[in-house]
Homo-oligomer: A and B are copies of this chain.
């Protein structure tokens, strides 16, 4: 298992599909489609959609059939970044080494580009059935679970707690874990469950892959927090130290570097344990968990 090679192959499938599914940049009204493509093709590891494909393969499903839904997950991730970067939120000027959407297109178009991506995400997931690739009942279930994970009790709930708790004393460590679980892990969990549901997995596989995704997501968020302290700006594509400047509560500010690293390793281990019942078909996921712990970007 050459993880980076396999990640590149799957990531390329996702890139090509995104390019096919998104309207061209000159589609009327052009400014919104330009803004959409600007953020979607600003780089990024495509981890969430790649994990959708991988989960479908683990349960014996076809990764080609779940490709539209995988792209949908990436659009949700991209929308959340555009809105998080807005002046009213984190007010970030750079993302992945490029000016953020609102710096290039203005606040109104950035808000609308995020809205459009979130809307288009569900269009793409529904396409799995509309295009005849996946039975409708699996798709409605996936849409239900993804919208829960991305909503006010998941991704958005986490962002609410993030921005409302910044610069104030943290009530308890539980708030940190809520943020990590809601803002990051919920969508990873949903990505894995989506792949497993659409790929036709049984309930036990869906749950186990979801647990993998959840712990993987928390480990991912912790390493994100660590990189904001120990990372290199050139590799990350964004200034380091932004969490401290924005007076954010992160696993590093709350737990300290050592405990944060320890917790990341513990979550990585838990994610691997969720895969114990799977054979070599889950090797890509195992490698992904190892990669996250060691990542530099």
Give the interface of A toward B (CB within 8 A): 23, 27-29, 31-33, 36, 79, 83, 86, 88-89, 106-109, 111-112, 114-116, 118-120, 122-123, 125-127, 129-130, 135-137, 139-141, 143-144, 147-148, 150-153, 156-157, 159-161, 163-164, 178
Contacts and interface: CB of A to CB of B under 8 A. Distances in A.
A258 B128 CA distance: 48
B119 A150 contact: yes
A221 B163 CA distance: 37
15 contacts: A23-B152, A28-B157, A31-B164, A32-B157, A79-B115, A83-B111, A86-B108, A88-B107, A116-B152, A116-B156, A119-B150, A119-B152, A122-B143, A126-B144, A135-B136
Q: Shortest 7 CB-CB distances between A and B: which pairs? A: A136-B136, A123-B147, A88-B107, A126-B144, A116-B152, A129-B140, A136-B137
A32 B156 contact: yes
Interface of A is mostly: helix
A118 B120 contact: no
A36 B152 contact: yes
Contacts of A23: 152-153
A284 B241 CA distance: 60
Contacts of A140: 126, 129-130, 136, 139-140, 143
A284 to B, nearest CB: 28
Contact of A160 (B29, B79, B141): B29
Given A139-B140, A151-B119, A157-B29, A111 B89 contact: yes
